[in-house]
Structure 1
């Protein structure tokens, strides 16, 4: 009975010690932080030709996430700033004067502080070859 009681208390403790992995995690352990700006942590995954990008703040809180496959960008409904994420196909998007938090061969993510205190995140396509962009995702 004592062993059962110990396991009952140890279960939650053991669960808390499990490493975070994957999209939506505060501190993903299955991919490196590829942020290019202090104050942000950016994680990427590629699965079945789709790139997933997640931006976290310094405390590990998920801010925004998106999926990118070639020239198609889709915002993911997660993160405390999800409503402040702009995609290339959004009519209201203009090139932001924001700071670059992530960039690779096909896309760039910028962050622009707003007067309201919020931060607008913008995904920008950087692919210069439409055929290349529409056929596969480059890199990680």
Structure 2
């Protein structure tokens, strides 16, 4: 199986189990919007972080200060997945092997996930989404 095929299967399994649980709250329909009608929970003045919940899955959407959607990440039960949303969706890393630099900024953090942003020399932003565990403690945001 190719990497792309494996990722598609993982995405289907991830979303299928999540959507089979309960009905969606009204605010979840705003995921992907430039200015969703939910509170900005960013820990950085350079970013907006919008948090949505749908069927036991937490989704965090990262926008810049102009409202451009850069990335969206879903997390539940220790699993983290990058959604194909935003201009930097291909620049989101969910592996635990990442190095931060002096330009790395924490955008959002709660008891489930920590998301950082690092500007790149080509004008894009590299986002790191790390699930929280005993080895990766997160604080702040909604659950901190």
TM-score (norm 1): 0.70
State whether residues 91 and 125 of structure 2, in contact with CA within 8 Å, keep that contact through their aligned partners in structure 1: yes
State the shift of 1:118 in Å.
Answer: 1.4
Cα distance in 2, alignment partners of residues 60 and 126 from structure 1: 27
**Structure 2: stretches of 5+ with no match in the other structure:** 1-28, 136-141
Which of the residues 47, 51, 56 maps onto 2:54? 47
Is residue 77 from structure 1 mapped to residue 72 from structure 2 by the alignment? no
* Distance across 2 between alignment mates of 1:128 and 1:45: 24
Name the count of aligned residue pairs: 108
Deviating 4+ runs (over 6 angstroms):
none
Computed over aligned residues only, the root mean square deviation of the Cα atoms, in angstroms, reads: 2.0
Matched with 2:125 is 119
Contact 2:71 2:87 in 1 (8 A): yes
- After the TM superposition, which residues 1-140 of structure 1 pair with which residues of structure 2 at under 5 Å, given as runs? 22-29=30-37, 31-88=38-95, 93-97=97-101, 98-128=104-134, 139=143
Q: In structure 2, how many angstroms separate the alpha carbons of the residues matched to 1:64 and 1:124?
A: 14
The answer to whether the Cα contact below 8 Å between 1:73 and 1:88 also exists between their aligned partners in 2 is no
Instruction: Give unpaired runs (5+ residues) of structure 1.
Output: 1-20, 130-137
Asked which structure has the greater CA Rg, the reply is 1
Q: TM-score, normalised by structure 2?
A: 0.68
